[in-house]
């Protein structure tokens, strides 16, 4: 594959759902970002911002929610995923593209031992050696110790962090080129969170797997990702290399940065972002962040929600007044 073909290119993607009377409700508008081979990309945003919908557009499961990509392109190694049939999806989903779903902590099948879960994942792909040895290798890969004991256990006998490791092991069975981890640390305590982050970093380093990491937590993705995509109310509002996010160019990213626990002063008040994102379909004209924005001007309140400006692959913002950030 030539170096100018991205592993994944999300290009002006619009995701919608059909409502009564053939009316389409847009859930995600013009999402724009790309993922290079071996790159780790974080997608952050509050609940309902469209993070999981983007994941589903990459693994072809939007229709299970009655939704669809209705505009733009989802290009995987140059192949437009909107054009492929279910047989092709089956050769990509869970194989070339691994997925750890958002509810993965509850995910492992409760009635199967870990050995059986792993065998099921491994049975989908070719490999050499006995199933038992291949399962053990997978558990080694995700740094699970006492593998013989763990193989015989059921999910309820494992801690949350261990269950998450098992789900990641299942997703790695096919040695995917891209692993999508949708909020892999939600519900885990801080120590286990950082262990899972370290594991993802090692997987990327040792296997060269590109990773999309979804989170509410900017501090978390900031630590491990090369690039960050910030979403608000179904729109991509800022994208850039992680280093550029210390000088954000969108007021929402400024607010996310200010509310990080790791920047709060000891004993001081933990800042929160004022207001709430507008509900799906309840958009006012103009910028969807306007009601929450300290920088709002008259021109923000008219027309369409601003598009990302700047060159894809560089630091981009969807704010009309990005030049004023930090100056008021």
Ligand X SMILES: Nc1ncnc2c1ncn2[C@@H]1O[C@H](COP(=O)(O)OP(=O)(O)OP(=O)(O)O)[C@@H](O)[C@H]1O
Q: At what angle do helices 160-172 and 114-122 cross, to 10 degrees?
A: 20
Q: Which does 49 bind (CB under 5 to 8 A by kind): ligand SF4, Mg ion, ligand X, none?
A: ligand X
Contact between 167 and 94 under an 8 Å Cβ cutoff? The reply is: no
Which region, judged by CB under 6 A, interacts with ligand SF4, from 8-16, 153-161, 176-184, 292-300? 292-300
Tell me how crowded residue 53 is: count the other CB atoms within 10 A of its CB.
Answer: 22
**In the complex, minimum distance from the CB of residue 118 to ligand X, in angstroms, rounded to a whole number:** 27
Q: Establish if 289 lies at the interface with ligand SF4 (CB under 6 A).
A: yes
Q: Establish if 102 lies at the interface with ligand X (CB under 6 A).
A: yes
Residue whose CB is less far from ligand X, 115 or 183: 183
Q: Establish if 273 lies at the interface with ligand X (CB under 6 A).
A: no
Question: Total residues contacting ligand X (rule CB under 6 A)?
Answer: 14
Tell me how crowded residue 93 is: count the other CB atoms within 10 A of its CB.
Answer: 17
Q: Which of 54, 151, 200, 287 binds ligand SF4 (CB under 6 A)?
A: 287
| DSSP letters for 268-306 | SPPP---S-PPPTT-PPSS-TTGGG-TT--GGGGSSSPP
Q: ∠ CA(225), CA(88), CA(72), 5° rounding?
A: 60
Positions in 42-101 near Mg ion (CB under 5 A): 51-52
Distance from C-alpha of 209 to C-alpha of 8, rounded to nearest angstrom? 13
Which region, judged by CB under 6 A, interacts with ligand SF4, from 155-163, 260-268, 272-280, 296-304? 296-304
List C-alpha distances in Å: 134 to 96, 113, 205.
18, 15, 21
Q: Which of 51, 163, 204, 305 binds ligand X (CB under 6 A)?
A: 51
- Return the half-sphere exposure (C-beta side, CA atoms, 13 A cut-off) of residue 235: 25
Which region, judged by CB under 6 A, interacts with ligand X, from 6-14, 49-57, 75-83, 93-101? 49-57
Instruction: Summarize as ranges the residues that interact with ligand SF4 (CB under 6 A).
Output: 250-251, 287, 289-290, 293, 295-297, 300, 306, 319-321
């Amino acid at each position: 594959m030539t170096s100018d073909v991205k592993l994944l290119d999300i290009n002006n993607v619009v995701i919608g759902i059909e409502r009564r009377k053939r009316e389409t409700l847009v859930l995600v508008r013009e999402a724009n970002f790309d993922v290079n081979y071996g790159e780790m990309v974080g997608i952050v945003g509050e609940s309902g911002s469209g993070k999981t919908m983007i994941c589903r557009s990459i693994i072809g499961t939007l229709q299970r929610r009655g939704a669809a990509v209705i505009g733009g392109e989802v290009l995987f190694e140059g192949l437009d995923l909107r054009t492929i049939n279910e047989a092709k999806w089956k050769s990509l989903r869970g194989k070339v593209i691994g997925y750890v779903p958002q509810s993965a902590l509850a995910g492992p099948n409760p009635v199967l031992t870990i050995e059986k879960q792993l065998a099921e994942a491994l049975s989908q792909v070719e490999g050499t050696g006995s199933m038992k040895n291949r399962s053990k290798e997978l558990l080694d890969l995700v740094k699970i110790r006492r593998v013989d004991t763990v193989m015989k256990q059921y999910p309820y006998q494992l801690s949350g962090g261990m269950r998450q490791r098992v789900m990641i092991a299942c997703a790695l069975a096919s040695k995917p080129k891209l692993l999508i981890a949708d909020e892999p640390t939600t519900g885990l305590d801080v120590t286990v969170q950082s262990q899972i982050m370290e594991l993802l970093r090692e997987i990327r380093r040792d296997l060269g797997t590109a990773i999309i990491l979804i989170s509410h937590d900017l501090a978390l993705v900031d630590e491990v990702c090369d690039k960050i995509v910030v979403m608000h109310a179904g729109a991509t509002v800022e994208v850039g290399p992680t280093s550029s996010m210390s000088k954000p160019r969108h007021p929402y990213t400024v607010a996310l940065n200010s509310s990080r626990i790791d920047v709060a002063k000891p004993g001081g008040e933990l800042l929160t972002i004022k207001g709430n994102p507008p509900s799906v379909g309840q958009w006012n004209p103009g910028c969807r962040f306007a009601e929450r924005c300290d920088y709002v001007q008259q021109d923000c309140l008219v027309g369409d929600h601003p598009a990302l400006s700047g060159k894809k692959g560089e630091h981009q913002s969807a704010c009309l007044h990005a030049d004023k950030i930090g100056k008021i």
